[in-house]
Structures are given as C-alpha cells and as structure tokens.
Amino acid sequence: MASKAAAQCPPHPRKKPRIPGPLTLERVKTYFAGCADFAVRTVRRAGAGDTEVTLCYLAGMVKMERVSDYILRPLAQDEALAGPLRAAFARMGEGALYNLICAHRTEMDQAAADLIGGWCLLFCPGEEGCLSLMTATEDKRSVGPPAGETVLKGGRDGFVESLRTNTSLIRRHLKAPELRIKEQTVGRQSLTLVDIVYLEGIADPETVKRVEERLADIDIDAALTPDSLEEYLTHQSRTAFPLLQYTERPDRFCGGLADGRVGLLADGLPLGYLMPATVSAFFRAGQDKANNWMVATLLTLLRYFCVLVTLLLPALYVATVTFHQEMIPTKLALSIIAAKQDVPFRTAFEVIVMLLAFEVLQEAGLRLPQSIGQTVSIIGGLVVGQAAVEARIVSPAVLIAVAIAGIAGYTAPSQEMAGALRLWRLFLTLCAALAGLFGVVAALAALVIHLSRLESFGVPYLAPFAGGGGSAARAVVRPPLPWTKLRQRLYHTPNRRKQR
C-alpha cells in the first residue's frame, strides 16, 4: 500500500543548485525582496569621492558590532582603501577589512546560503561577484547543567542548541588531534548542519562510512526534531526500542567516543547521539563510572531486576489470580479474595485500566508546567487512587501491583527504553488475560525474538548477551577501571588497547 502511494506521488528531487545563475546585487535584492529582515547599506569609501560600495545582510543573523567595527569603520576611515576600485577590492579580500573569514563569491546559490548563515555580502560596482564576510551572531543559550540527566558527581556542562558550542565542549574534553568532525547538510528547507564525530584509529571505519551514507540518503524538507534523524538513520520503524543512544552530557558523549563509538551532533538539538547502541548501553547511567565499582555493579543489577518487575508483575498478577490460583499462598489468596469481594470488575480489566490511568497521569504531569505537573501527579496518585479503592472500583492489591511496576520502570536511565518497556508491559498483561502463564511465556518469547532481530549499525541489539562478541559479564558488572585494559569487542574498534 505504501509503495503504491509512493508511486502515485510526483518525484521530489533535490534541486542543486537551489538558485542557479550568476551573482549580482540586483538579483540578491530581488530574491530577498519579501524578507523584512533583509537590509542593504551603502558606504562611501574614505577619500574615494562618490564611489560607494553596498553591504547586504539579514538583521538578527549578524552581530551589529562586528559589522560596524570590522567592516564599516575601515571602509569609511582607512585611506588604504581610497585608491582605484579594483585594487581596493583586492585589498579588502586580502585583509584590509578586520574580519577573520572572507570569501569571494560568484554564484547566487553560495551567496544566499552565506546570508542565511549570518554573513555579509559586500558588492563593489564593476566587480564580478562579491566578498562574503563572516559576521554571524553568537547569541545562544548559555552552557548549563543538563536538564534531562541528573549530575551528582561529574561535569556540570550540558549541550546547547548551537552546534559550534557543542563541538567546542567536546574539544575541551577530548583534546586529541585524532578527533575528527565531518559535516553534512540535511533538509532541503531547514539546511540543518549535522556533524559526525569520532576518534580516528579508535572508531570503526565501516561504522563511520555507514553513518555518512545514511545521512546522505536523508532527503526531507526539514530536519528540526530528533525523530527527523533517528527514524531515518536506524532504518527500523517496526520497533518501540531505541536504536540510537542520546545524551545531554559532553563528558558521557566523549566517553562513548573513547570507547570506539561514533557520535552525531545536529544544529538546534541540545543532545548528542552515540552509535552503535545495544540494549545493555541503555541500562548504564552516566554516574556508573563516577561511583565505586561495587556500588555501580549493585545499581546495574538492581536496574535489570526492576526491568523484570515492571514487565512481568502486572501480567503475573493477572495470570495467577485469574487462571492459576493454586500458585498463590493460602493467606495471600484469602486476603486478595476479601479485598475483591465488592469490586464489580474482573482482575484483568482492573489491571489494564490502572495501567492506562498510570500512563494518563504521567503524560499529564509531563505536558503541564513543572509546578502544576507535580500537583496533578500527587492528586492523581494519592487522592484518586485512594478514592477508587474506597469506592470499591479497584482492589488494593491491583493498585499496589501497578504502582510497584510503574515505579520500577522509572529506574531505567533511558526514558525511551522505559517507554518501550511500558508498551510491552501492556502487551504482556493482555496476553496473560487471554491465556494465563502460557500467554505470558509466549509474549516473552516474542519479545526475545523481536530483540534478536534488531541491530544498530551492524551490531546485534542483544550484544554482548547474544552475538556481537564482547563479555556479557561486563554488561552487568562494572569492574574497577584499572582492570579494564581493552575496549569492548562488539564496537569493532581497530585499537582495543585502552590502557597499559
């Protein structure tokens, strides 16, 4: 059906160049005639009589102080630019203007891209093309602690929306000359700059090549949201599990690069992606390497245990109460029966409704402002839950089981992984309501089969537990750092030696 719809759509090729033809001042004025931020400034050169040059720029994209001090002031006051126009034009390009970056443009397409990027175009009458001068503003959100990742012990700087600021943060953490940053443009209309970051000699060249090819294949109008990159890069749309790991912390991002992974940064997104990503990577927190190795190992084991609890507890409760009552201890069974006597609904219906209510409360808390969201969560969790139990709409045991499963799901460091687990938790509960423990086992088998079919940039998703090489014990146990002499084999790094 999708292929038939695609066949009926007209072709949508990427037009290159976007604005064909030579570069002239009149063409620039005509092309940007409907733009309120487009401005033109004529300047009379010092000691040159009536000879004027024309400066074009987009207000808000340039830093006005730079334009005034580095371009307009030399033009109006420097006697070295008072000679013949051709010689003065050449001297401007050679450094007579106090600008760090200067390029000679002759194509309309290049000049338009420079204007949008915050450059100024300087036209001289009778000269071919123009001088393009870098005067972009650096207004951005200041670097602060990451909002989505709690930092207890470590660096307090987080990624911002400016791509160059993010690359500078990485350079400050990783001062190695082998750090490589390759840039591509994604989106016909957004022209979003995307940087591929890796350590040469440590990252797998095949993974770098694969990322470059997938980025080059993205042909969309705008790449403005994380999904614009994630769904096109992974080529896996039939799974709820994340195949790209993201972080807001530069130190964690650089740690991934040092392990042999490939990073991705996009202009406008305050986060960095790490590839490849395996299921074990999503249960590692940024604080694990900052904590004592025994504490970090215990917390990792606790996360894996909580994954089993959040997945299986509602389904096992429904299966045992509905189909396998003989598995429940006698006193506990009597307590459940006594609490459920006046409840008019079946156990499966109660659990599913409470799971959905839990998701509704969580979504409401996320979408509202922080102060109001906390109030909604408290009212929904305490007042409504207690009122539902007292009104005999749900039994207390169901409320406890759903609450424990929900809290256990919050221990996952990755919110995307937690969202996938919640989706499968509901599926396992439905299977338990239909076929009891047999349905739970069948759903778990389907989950394992589904995960075994996934891969992230050539690495099996279940690695190192199944395939991909590497040590499964290291995915759970965090050994002391002096003991970790080699990098993980599953990243296919050319240099596995990590320390002497």
What token pair was written down for 488? 């993980």
**What would the mean pLDDT of 42-63 be, rounded to a whole number?**
82
CA dihedral 360, 361, 362, 366 (to 10 degrees): 100
Answer yes or no: are the C-beta atoms of 120 and 132 closer than 8 Å. Answer: yes
* Angle between helix 396-409 and helix 415-452 axes, rounded to 10 deg: 90
> What Cα–Cα distance (Å) separates residue 31 from each residue in 108, 118, 131, 152, 189?
10, 17, 18, 52, 16
Q: Where are the beta strands (DSSP E) in 318-375?
A: none
Tens-place pLDDT, residues 269-289? 899 999 999 998 898 887 888
Q: Please state, in angstroms and rounded to a whole number, the distance separating the CA atoms of residues 61 and 57.
A: 8
- How many angstroms separate the CA atoms of 168 and 160, rounded? 11
pLDDT by residue (tens digit) across 213-245? 999 888 888 888 887 788 888 877 788 999 999
Helices H, strands E: what count in the chain? 18, 12
pLDDT in tens, 80-110: 777 777 788 888 888 778 877 888 898 898 8
In 3D space, the residue among 180, 200, 199, 202 whose CA is nearest the CA of residue 493 turns out to be 202
At residue 272, φ and ψ (nearest 5 deg) are -130, 140
The answer to whether residue 322 scores a pLDDT higher than 70 is yes
* Neighbouring C-alpha atoms within 13 Å toward the C-beta of 414: 24
More confident residue, 17 or 210: 210
pLDDT at 458 over 70: yes
State the pTM of this model: 0.84
Burial class (CB in 10 A: 0-12, 13-18, 19+), 292: exposed
Question: Omega of the bond prior to 464 within 30 degrees of 0, cis?
Answer: yes
* pLDDT-based confidence at residue 335 (cuts at 50, 70, 90): confident
> What DSSP state is assigned to residue 197?
E
Mean pLDDT of 43-52: 72
pLDDT at 370: 67
Residue 446 has what pLDDT?
Answer: 95
Tokens 């957004």 belong to 190
Place of tokens 């590692």: 284
> Cα 470 from chain centroid?
26
User: Using one digit for the tens of pLDDT, what is the confidence trace for 373-407?
Assistant: 666 666 666 667 777 777 788 888 888 888 899 88
- Angstrom distance (rounded) from CA 330 to CA 307: 28
- The structure tokens listed for 319 are 């299966």
Q: For 263, what's the count of Cα atoms within 13 Å in the CB-facing half-sphere?
A: 32
Residue range 474-500: mean pLDDT, rounded = 83
Is the CB of residue 440 less than 8 Å from the CB of residue 324? Answer: no
Given pLDDT bands bounded at 50, 70 and 90, which one contains residue 439?
very high
Q: Are strands 192-199 and 179-186 parallel, antiparallel or unpaired?
A: antiparallel
As beta bridge partners, residue 265 has 195, 272
β-pairing, 455-456 vs 272-275, is unpaired
Confidence of residue 430 (pLDDT cuts 50, 70, 90): very high
Domain ranges of the chain: 25-134, 163-275, 293-456
The 10 Å Cβ neighbour count of residue 139 is 9
pLDDT score at 1:
45
> pLDDT category, 2, cuts 50, 70, 90?
very low
Is 4 a residue whose pLDDT tops 60?
Answer: no
The CA-based angle 216-221-224, given to 5 degrees, is 90
* 120 compared with 363, residue with greater pLDDT: 120
What value does the mean pLDDT take over residues 136-154? 78
pLDDT for the residue 7: 52
pLDDT of residue 143: 82
pLDDT band with cut points at 50, 70 and 90 for residue 10: low
User: Does 195 score more than 90 pLDDT?
Assistant: yes
pLDDT confidence bin for 483, thresholds 50/70/90: confident
Q: What does the alpha-carbon distance between residue 248 and residue 157 come to, in Å, rounded to a whole number?
A: 9
Which percentage of the chain shows pLDDT scores above 70? 93
Q: What average pLDDT does the segment 29-35 reach?
A: 90
68 Rama sector, left if φ>0, alpha if ψ -120 to 50, beta otherwise: alpha
Work out the mean pLDDT of the chain and round it to a whole number.
85
**Does position 428 have pLDDT exceeding 90, yes or no?**
yes
pLDDT at 355 over 70: yes
pLDDT at 272: 93
* 1 neighbors 8 (Cβ within 8 angstroms): no
What is the phi/psi pair of residue 475, to 5°? -75, -20
The answer to whether 285 and 414 have CB atoms below 8 angstroms apart is no
Instruction: Specify the residue for token string 């509905």.
Output: 322
Contact, 57 vs 43, CB < 8 A? no
Q: Three-state DSSP class for 105? A: strand
Contact assessment for residue 70 and residue 62, using Cβ atoms and an 8 Å cutoff:
no
